[in-house]
Amino acid sequence: MATQVIFPPSLGRSNVKRLLLCFVLWLVLGAEWVSAQPTNTAPLAQYEPHVSARAIAYQRIVSAESLTAAAWSLLGLWLFWKLGCSLRLRNRVQRNRISESASQPNPPPLRQLLPFGFGLLLTLALWNLPFHVLGLLIEKHFGFSNQSLGGFIRDQLLNFGVSLVMLPLFWGGYWLYSRSPHRWWLWGWLGLIPLLCFQMLLYPLFIAPLYHHFTPLPESPLKQKITRLAEQAGITHSTILQEDTSRRTRHVNAYVTGIGGSARIVLNDTAIQTLPEDQLLAVMGHEMGHYVEKHVWAGLISSVFGAGIFLWLASWLFPKLAKRHAKRVSGVHDLAYLPLVLLMLSLFLLLQAPLASYESRVMERRADAFGLRLTGLNDATARLHVGFAERDYSDPDPPLLLHLWFGTHPTLRERIAFALSYRR
């Protein structure tokens, strides 16, 4: 049973139940609070999204696929540990059944960690591949995906290549643990802060271009209007780029990414090809809200706090769990323990998702307000959100629990009502 593996014996079955009860109570109270928020549902009739049967089918299939894929990924990590794959791989890279380090918390040498980490990440990538294929088939079936098989394979290889960046981080964790078995989490956290900043700074410059081609917006009346809007918003040296999203999908989107010198607003070419001008300006007004209010920084600060909480919890939980499995691993520093570490990280990310989603919804609502204040395009903004429901098949009324857990934006119905009721 999964819970027996996840929680150490010292936590006790009754305490686990109490924790779960608190968590459910928190969700229910959160749901109550959200549903109690006043929403203006006044003149919605002409802005009522027409949700077709095909759209409903898409929403249900995508929700089921996403949830099953998340569970499948967790199951993969657990099976890798439970079926002894982790032990066999460790023995193979050590070429010796008895660890050289026995109970000494030495960091595993790179010649062992690199092949072990490579093998683990490759197995997980192959394990999760069927759901990536299924996701592509669903998008193709509903006419959203433009991706060729070659492009899909290239993306999967890229994803795997990028995931290898984790290997030096694993080694750093082992090294810190060997030097400071009690305070490793604190040093690790302090070390992660600049790394997370670097990741945010470098991602748009070096990683995103591996997937997409970015170009400056071509000279046009639209660009002039966007530039004027940026000046109105107090953005003087903005980087506004166009992304070649249409090579992969027909879905419409725009986003803000990067910090400092790499901060940029990205408009997908699908948005330029699909949306009328007033809706494009409404999109840009919203994105400029993210840019001016520095929401990327807010997200970064939350990630730093989240990482600190996880590492602190891990410093308490990892040794207890390793002790419980003392017959299989020699301690937290044992390579074979790594899948359990990743499983706990995945569970932590899943459990903190309602909080992260809530923070995201608050920032999205602020960006909506900023955009409406800047552009005054209430009608175009409302129609933009109607379009997301009718054209992109986004659910205007997602199930409450799914929305609370994974909803990064207010629901489309809330956003339409907000756009119509907002006054400058």
What gap in Å lies between CA 37 and CA 46, rounded to an integer?
A: 23
Q: Which is nearer to Zn ion, 142 or 297 (CB)?
A: 297
- Alpha-carbon distances of 115 from 127, 314, 339, 341, rounded to whole Å: 18, 24, 14, 17
Given 243, 287, 364, 414, the catalytic residue:
287
Q: Which of 322, 321, 323, 329 is nearest to 3 (CA)?
A: 321
- Binding map of Zn ion across residues 141-180, x = CB under 5 A, - = no contact: ----------------------------------------
Q: Which is nearer to Zn ion, 94 or 357 (CB)?
A: 357
Smallest distance from the beta carbon of 398 to Zn ion, in angstroms?
Answer: 17
SS (H, E, C) 289-302: HHHHCCHHHHHHHH
Q: Which is nearer to Zn ion, 199 or 253 (CB)?
A: 253
> What is the side-by-side order of every strand in the sheet holding 214-216?
214-216, 240-243, 264-268, 254-257
- List own/partner pairs for 334-337 with CB under 8 A and 24 or more apart: 334/90, 334/99, 335/86, 335/90, 335/93, 335/94, 335/108, 335/112, 335/113, 335/116, 336/86, 336/87, 336/89, 336/90, 337/86
Q: Which is nearer to Zn ion, 332 or 367 (CB)?
A: 367
Number of amino acids touching Zn ion (CB under 5 A): 2
287 flagged as catalytic: yes
Q: Which of 81, 277, 303 is nearest to 197 (CA)?
A: 303
In the 8-state DSSP scheme, what is residue 216? E
Q: Spell out the residues 6+ positions from residue 418 whose beta carbon is closer than 8 angstroms to its own.
A: 39, 40, 365, 368, 369, 410
Smallest distance from the beta carbon of 379 to Zn ion, in angstroms?
Answer: 19
Smallest distance from the beta carbon of 33 to Zn ion, in angstroms?
Answer: 22
Smallest distance from the beta carbon of 275 to Zn ion, in angstroms?
Answer: 15
The helix/strand/coil state of 44 is coil
What gap in Å lies between CA 233 and CA 375, rounded to an integer?
A: 10
Q: Which is nearer to Zn ion, 243 or 364 (CB)?
A: 364
The values of phi and psi at residue 104, to 5°, are: -75, 125
What gap in Å lies between CA 164 and CA 371, rounded to an integer?
A: 39
Contact (Cβ atoms closer than 8 angstroms) between residue 158 and residue 409: no
Q: Which is nearer to Zn ion, 198 or 255 (CB)?
A: 255
Residue 14: count of CB within 10 angstroms of its CB:
8
What token pair was written down for 253? Answer: 């989107």
Interface with Zn ion in residues 340-379 (CB under 5 A): 364, 367
Smallest distance from the beta carbon of 364 to Zn ion, in angstroms?
Answer: 5
What token pair was written down for 95? Answer: 């070429």
Largest CA distance in the chain: 73
Q: Which is nearer to Zn ion, 89 or 265 (CB)?
A: 265
Q: Which is nearer to Zn ion, 367 or 372 (CB)?
A: 367
What token pair was written down for 104? Answer: 């000494």
Smallest distance from the beta carbon of 286 to Zn ion, in angstroms?
Answer: 6
The per-residue DSSP string of 226-248 comes to: HHHHHHHTT-SS--EEEE-GGGT
Residue 88: count of CB within 10 angstroms of its CB:
12
Interface with Zn ion in residues 100-119 (CB under 5 A): none
The residues carrying an active-site annotation are 287
The contact set with Zn ion (CB under 5 A) reads 364, 367
